[in-house]
Structure 1
Amino acid sequence: MVAVASRIRLEDRECPLSTTVQHVGEWWTLLILHDAFDGYSRFDQFQENLGISSSMLTTRLKTLVEDGLLERRPYQANPVRHEYVLTGLGHSLRPVIVALAAWGNSRLAPEERSMILVDAESGQEVEPVVVDARTGRRLDDSDTYVFTAGPAAGDVMRDRYAGRGSRTGGTN
């Protein structure tokens, strides 16, 4: 993880987007998490489905366990074999994965989509959107919703968002 952390600029270390990308911003990591959401849990399942090398998969799974997104559990005693199960923290990333997939699908005609999100009961396709929990309004309007410095922001973050606090109700 130290190698990944070094890619983040010093001023971004307090940025929640930068720190999130540090954990899940790598190609294979997102695909492993997607497979875990689809019920895959064993090394050979991930490897077969993704076509990933065993060394790369070992590294990614180890990092996901260290980051608390997956839990490594033995499922066989002789020889010992482990499965990788989503933790609560890992499950909390599902809306992010869904939103990324929806964004990808939004650029395709319906007949070109190879994977869609459906309601499990009705089978009807759903259109995921990110909304504010309090108002129910969509967050994709950059004129209505903007980032600003939060209560724990340091000087760099406060300088970046100077002047936005009064417009959005945040603090400067």
Structure 2
Amino acid sequence: MPHRPRQCSIADALSIVGERWSLLTLREVFLGVRRFDRIARNTGASRDILTARLTKLVETGLLEKKQYETHPPRYEYVPTETGQALHSVLLSLMDWGDRYITRTDPPTVWAHDCGATLRPVMVCEHCREPVRPEELTVVRVDQPNPE
């Protein structure tokens, strides 16, 4: 019997944002860079790759393409509610990179309204306590090939 990979929300999410140029494009949009040429310059993506990634992000509902000039037609990209929900994921990924990968001072720093440098922490929606891996219990895992 052929092996069937485990169904997983992580795999589903990665099918949309699981490659470098999609994540870097979203980074730029979250930093306020919304126009094609600046996104291309700041990410280093070629025009054809960036066009493909922006098209996919719009088609999957993470970004919205809004016209800001009519002659000639020019567009900018703004996050939808679905796209905004990824902001905390990117902040967490950046924090992980700052702590464990980047060997210099963090190149981008976000400050919270309280004035402190942001260090994202995941909390349980119910009790508001920080989430620690050792305190988690898996309650359901769909097996790819039940034995």
For normalisation by structure 2, the TM-score amounts to 0.85
Q: Which residue in 2 is equivalent to 1:149? A: 140
1:108 deviation in Å? 6.3
* Shift in alpha-carbon separation, 1:48–1:129, aligned structure 2, 3 A: same
Secondary structure of 1:72's aligned partner: strand
* Shift in alpha-carbon separation, 1:18–1:51, aligned structure 2, 3 A: same
Unaligned runs of 5+ in 1: 1-8, 161-172
* Shift in alpha-carbon separation, 1:109–1:82, aligned structure 2, 3 A: closer
CA deviation vs aligned residue, 1:66-86 (integer Å, no higher than 9, x gap): 110001111111111111111
Identity level (%): 30
Secondary structure of 1:11's aligned partner: coil
Unaligned runs of 5+ in 2: none
Q: Determine if the alignment matches structure 1 residue 61 to structure 2 residue 49.
A: no
Q: Which residue in 2 is equivalent to 1:21? A: 14
Q: Greater relative contact order (Cα 8 A, min sep 6): structure 1 or 2? A: 2
Aligned residues: 145
| Amino acid in structure 1 at the alignment position of 2:144 | V
1: CA distance between counterparts of 2:102 and 2:91? 18
CA-based RMSD:
2.5
Q: Map 1:1-172 onto structure 2 (within 5 A).
A: 10-12=4-6, 14-107=7-100, 112-122=105-115, 124-141=116-133, 143-149=134-140, 153=142, 156=144, 159=146
1:94 deviation in Å? 0.6
* Shift in alpha-carbon separation, 1:114–1:78, aligned structure 2, 3 A: same
For normalisation by structure 1, the TM-score amounts to 0.74
